[in-house]
């Protein structure tokens, strides 16, 4: 762990802490046995505002090797994500690719996105540091380098395989500490008319829907267009288009190229103006956000405690990484939740980080149904409600802890 003393975009030392979620375990570090409870590591989870470029970022950085070398998140296991990636692949193929172009993905996970390009005949290469997910990708037939992306690696790939027409970075830029090295690598590997596409949670969502649970140690930065524009410009590159997708919450997708190589769309000005209209360049609004988060914590704790006093049984629906931020910040443990229903087999029969809620399969949950589910996997609200019609018809309810708190 190291202290973050300067902004990773503009290198300013004017980082001002506005939110403290306490000392928390790593959100994806599930525990296999109760013996591990005593040795569980915790790290400060504090968020800062850069007073110069306005990038929002964590105060400490946990080493990437500790976070990502053995990773429990598999993209192909996420509901509906395959459809999202299919549409994504079709869009960028139609807009930017020609036959035999080279497509590279940074943090390619189990290869679910790259496989769409491979199956269409494009040359593809994934890069991912997690040994376990690289093995899965290769079983899918997606060629993957087991490594962290860097300028040094980019030079080697460009030398061995040529420049990439498309470089994809989905839910990874926010995970990277060294943005300078990232952009040097992208600049080196990207073809002169190539496109670098970033997809990541959009900071606007946290203001609109109070999705503070997206804050955890893997997410070193909380991204908006304006600070990223400054980063790209430092490397003679520019954002030429942006769109919003409702996936895993509200995500931004930014299209970046070498300066002057692509026509800049009106969307760049549109989202720049949106962020400024929300005063996202002002420390004051971040302090207000922190106050709203603290208020929601009290409301959620009171609701759950009241239900328990009434003799109601409560469990969590899903055990996502972001849910563990909420459980630990709000101190919601086994005195409140009986278990966490988790469809991902790799997370079943374990204990959640910090609060040590046992994770169970849907079969177990359906034979031990609660009165209420706390929907930690709120980004799949629609799919969950469709799937659990029987539970709802029997009078079961869901507590959804975003946009304030709502009960369905």
Task: Give this prediction's pTM.
Answer: 0.93
Lowest mean pLDDT of 38-42, 141-145, 245-249, name the range: 245-249
Encode 108-137: b = buried (16+ Cβ within 10 Å), e = exposed: bbbbbbbbbbbeeebbbbbbbbbeebbebb
Query: Does residue 170 contact residue 112 with C-beta atoms inside 8 Å?
Result: no
What's the pLDDT score for residue 248? 66
pLDDT tens digits along 239-258: 999 999 987 678 999 999 99
Token digits of residue 359: 């994770």
Query: Does residue 117 contact residue 93 with C-beta atoms inside 8 Å?
Result: yes
What's the pLDDT score for residue 9? 97
DSSP state of 202: B
Residues across the chain:
408
Closest by Cα among 370, 373, 369 to 384:
373
Query: What residues does 164 pair with on adjacent strands?
Result: 190
Any residues with CB less than 8 A from the CB of 98 and at least 6 apart, and which? 165
DSSP state of 223: B
DSSP 3-state percent helix, strand, coil across the chain (nearest 5): 40, 25, 35
What's the pLDDT score for residue 70? 59
Query: Does residue 97 contact residue 122 with C-beta atoms inside 8 Å?
Result: yes
Beta strands per DSSP E along 314-358: 314-317, 340-341
Domains 75-281 and 284-407 share a fold: yes
CA atoms within 13 A on the CB side of 121: 4
Rounded distance between C-alpha atoms, residue 200 and residue 250, angstroms: 9
Beta strands per DSSP E along 26-154: 43-50, 56-58, 60-61, 102-106, 123-128, 144-146
Indicate the domain borders of the chain. 75-281, 284-407
Q: Looking at the predicted structure, is the pLDDT value of residue 225 above 80?
A: yes
Q: What is residue 368's three-state secondary structure?
A: coil
pLDDT tens digits along 352-378: 999 999 999 999 999 999 999 999 999
Average pLDDT, the chain: 94
- Confidence class for position 80, pLDDT limits 50, 70, 90: low
- Confidence class for position 348, pLDDT limits 50, 70, 90: very high
What DSSP line would sit under 74-109, residue for residue?
-GGGSTTHHHHHHHHHHHHHHHH--TT-EEEEET-T
Given the candidates 3.40.1350.10, 3.40.50.300, 2.60.40.10, 3.40.50.720, the CATH classification of the domain at 284-407 is: 3.40.50.720
Q: Which fold has domain 75-281?
A: Rossmann fold (3.40.50)
Q: Is 390 exposed, middle or buried (0-12, 13-18, 19+ CB in 10 A)?
A: exposed
Rounded distance between C-alpha atoms, residue 349 and residue 366, angstroms: 16
Q: Looking at the predicted structure, is the pLDDT value of residue 137 above 80?
A: yes
Q: Looking at the predicted structure, is the pLDDT value of residue 71 above 80?
A: no
Q: Looking at the predicted structure, is the pLDDT value of residue 183 above 80?
A: yes
Rounded distance between C-alpha atoms, residue 134 and residue 129, angstroms: 8
Average pLDDT over residues 169-181: 96
Phi then psi for 357, rounded to 5 degrees? Answer: -75, 130
pLDDT tens digits along 267-307: 999 999 999 999 999 999 999 999 999 999 999 999 999 99
Percent with pLDDT over 70 in the chain: 96
Q: Looking at the predicted structure, is the pLDDT value of residue 84 above 60?
A: yes
Rounded distance between C-alpha atoms, residue 166 and residue 294, angstroms: 42
- Confidence class for position 77, pLDDT limits 50, 70, 90: very low
- Confidence class for position 69, pLDDT limits 50, 70, 90: low
Number of H helices, E strands in the chain: 14, 19
What's the pLDDT score for residue 247? 74
What's the pLDDT score for residue 67? 81
pLDDT tens digits along 189-211: 999 999 999 999 999 999 999 99
Average pLDDT over residues 46-51: 98
pLDDT tens digits along 150-171: 999 999 999 999 999 999 999 9
What's the pLDDT score for residue 39? 95
Rounded distance between C-alpha atoms, residue 31 and residue 44, angstroms: 20
């Amino acid at each position: 762990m190291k202290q973050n003393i300067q902004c990773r975009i503009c290198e300013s030392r004017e980082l001002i802490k506005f939110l403290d979620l306490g000392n928390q375990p790593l959100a994806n570090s599930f525990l296999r046995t109760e013996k591990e409870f005593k040795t569980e590591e915790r790290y400060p989870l504090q968020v800062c505002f850069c007073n110069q470029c306005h990038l929002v970022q964590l105060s400490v950085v946990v080493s990437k090797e500790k976070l990502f070398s053995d990773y429990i998140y598999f993209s192909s296991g996420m509901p509906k994500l395959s459809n999202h990636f299919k549409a994504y692949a079709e869009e960028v193929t139609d807009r930017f690719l020609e036959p035999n172009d080279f497509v590279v993905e940074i943090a390619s996970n189990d290869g679910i996105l790259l496989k769409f390009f491979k199956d269409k005949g494009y040359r593809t290469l994934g890069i991912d540091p997690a040994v376990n997910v690289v093995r899965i990708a290769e079983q899918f037939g997606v060629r993957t380098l087991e490594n962290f992306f860097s300028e040094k690696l980019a030079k080697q790939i460009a030398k061995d395989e040529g420049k990439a027409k498309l470089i994809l970075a989905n839910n990874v830029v926010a995970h990277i500490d060294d943005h300078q090295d990232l952009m040097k690598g992208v600049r080196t590997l990207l073809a002169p008319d190539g496109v670098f596409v970033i997809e990541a949670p959009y900071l606007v969502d946290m203001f609109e829907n109070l999705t503070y649970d997206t804050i955890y140690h893997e997410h070193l930065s909380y991204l908006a267009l304006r600070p990223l524009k400054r980063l790209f410009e430092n490397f003679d590159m520019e954002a030429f288009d942006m769109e919003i997708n409702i996936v895993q919450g509200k995500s931004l997708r930014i299209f970046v190229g070498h300066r002057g190589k692509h026509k800049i769309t009106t969307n760049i000005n549109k989202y720049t103006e949106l962020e400024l209209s929300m005063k996202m360049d002002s420390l004051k609004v971040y302090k207000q956000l922190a106050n709203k988060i603290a208020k929601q914590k009290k409301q959620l704790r009171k609701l759950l405690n009241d239900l328990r006093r009434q003799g109601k049984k409560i469990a969590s629906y899903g055990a996502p990484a972001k849910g563990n931020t909420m459980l630990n910040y709000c101190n919601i443990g086994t005195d409140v939740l009986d278990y966490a229903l988790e469809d991902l087999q790799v997370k079943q029969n374990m204990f959640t980080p910090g609060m040590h809620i046992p994770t169970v399969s849907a079969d177990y949950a359906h034979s031990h149904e609660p009165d209420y589910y706390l929907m930690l996997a709120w980004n799949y609200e629609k799919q969950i409600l469709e799937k659990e019609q029987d539970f709802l018809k029997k009078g079961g309810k869901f507590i959804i802890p975003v946009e304030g708190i709502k009960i369905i």
